[in-house]
A and B are shown apart, each in its own frame.
Chain A
Amino acid sequence: MTAAPFDPEALVEAMSPLLELTLTPESRAETIVHLRIAAEQAQLLLSAPIGDDEEPAPVFVA
């Protein structure tokens, strides 16, 4: 089974109430443009093999 193609319109519809954001039509359209760009960038990032044991860069010091 393969995942459905990324649907930024559906993401905006689902997330706006959760985030308590009210988007104008213009803002919604531009947000979708930026979600598509982010998804392209994420595809590149997520293709990098990162091990479970790798430490994230910020390390808290108590």
Chain B
Amino acid sequence: MISGLLDGAAQAIAAEVRSGRASAHEVTLAALERIETRNAAFGAFTDVTTARALARARAIDAARARGETLGPLAGAPFAVKNLFDVEGLTTRAGSRINRDHIPAEKDATLVSRLENAGAILVGALNMGEYAYDFTGENFHDGPSRNPRDLEHMTGGSSGGSGAAVAGGLVPLALGSDTNGSIRVPSSFCGVFGLKPTYGRLSRAGTFPFVASLDHLGAFARSVQDLALSYDAMLGRDPADPAQAEVFAAPVAPTLDDGLAGLRIAKLGGYFARSGDASALAGVDAVARALKAERVVELAEAATARAAAYLITMVEGAALHLRRLQTRAADFDPDVRDRLIAGAMLPGAWVQQAQKFRRRFRAQALTLFREVDILLAPATPCRAPRIGQKTFVLDSKELLVRPNMGLFTQPISFIGLPVATVPVWTGGEKLPIGVQIIAPPWREDLALRVARVLERDGIVRAPVAPFA
């Protein structure tokens, strides 16, 4: 029975724990046992917080015994990309170098908020070094492997988060997304992902990459779990100076409001030109289900992607310059050499990129006067094989690592909220994701559409079978 619960949603686990039909302790034990059994195959976890998780579970069971009201995620296991601070663990951010840091003295804000809602942290997850990666292959810890096919990439940089959720190790995981690092692994691993609006959720207590573009968000196998976890993580945090002072209403109460009144369109042009057949078929399947026949253009998307690319190179390089000077040999070479190149770029390029960012935002806001939701592929193709360095798109051979974010980068560049939904086309073993893009601060709309698609069976994220 408990094993079956682990294949379901965090919400269902919480319902069982709140009712007393299952204890948080037995759910946690089962989750830890499953991690022990499956993690070697998936390479998802880098740290397992056994003692902490069991102590937390006992506390939840004791609270229930005292008649206290339990939170909406009571007893649900979750894990976080290893750039989140976890008290007592060293925040490695996928690197070798940061392992020399002292352990974190307190949890990241979002970890605390999920635990305040009753969720139980069971560990930290593999990621591409310093989050500069779309593959999920960690040079030091080994690759995270795609539970849908272990020979294929999870995508990155939140690769362990995608693997842990798709592989049934946890129903809920947190990751970060600078240029696509939640949306790419969601697409490759076949799970739901939510990248909220830039500035919405506190980034306090996480290791940064590109301050101008960094977002945090969640992975889950149900849209309801994305909504519940997002609601639990909302709220002002003075420790994050980049957090916007914008009112945030919880999204769970309106999640089942359906499509009434929503104008939905596919993004054409740039977003319809470069993907392979599977990427375009995924969008078409979603658009058909939503009766979204209109196609609109987000002009200058290629320029937006170029601007995001350059801001990332330069800000990333600035963050790591001291380490490049003193510890170059300890980097993943693929990450190091992109950062070194970024350190050599002209400042004028970045200033142009930041000016263009404001203009591109204005163009998107104009488009959102006509439509409420935009649909676009999340990745240009399904998951490449582990170790694959290049792929072919439009008869051109491209590097995998910098180019899996072709469709995600222009969107996160201006911080739009996105729910990524997994589509299986043509009986394929590997899924592909579609971005459901909403206006700034309207996570509720993206999740409402995702929920309709899930309810109607157009998108789904079952646990991958484990041999």
Contact = CB atoms under 8 A, between A and B. Distances in A.
B353 A11 contact: no
B355 A34 contact: no
Contact of B354 (A19, A27, A34, A58): A58
A30 B336 CA distance: 9
Interface in A19-62: 19-24, 26-27, 30-35, 37-38, 41-42, 44-48, 50, 54-58
What interface size band does chain A fall in?
20 to 34
Interface residues on B, range: 35 or more
A6 B310 CA distance: 17
Contacts, number: 100
A38 B303 contact: no
Contacts of A3: none
26 contacts: A11-B344, A15-B344, A20-B325, A21-B324, A21-B340, A21-B343, A27-B328, A27-B337, A30-B333, A31-B337, A31-B344, A33-B337, A34-B340, A34-B341, A38-B309, A38-B341, A38-B342, A46-B352, A47-B303, A48-B352, A48-B356, A50-B359, A54-B359, A57-B212, A57-B354, A58-B212
B167 to A, nearest CB: 33
A50 B325 contact: no
Contacts of B212: 57-58
B358 interface: yes
Nearest to A42: B349
Interface of B: 212, 300, 302-303, 305-307, 309-310, 313, 321, 324-325, 328, 333-334, 336-338, 340-345, 349, 351-359, 361, 399, 402
B408 to A, nearest CB: 16
Contacts of B300: 48
Contacts of B399: 37
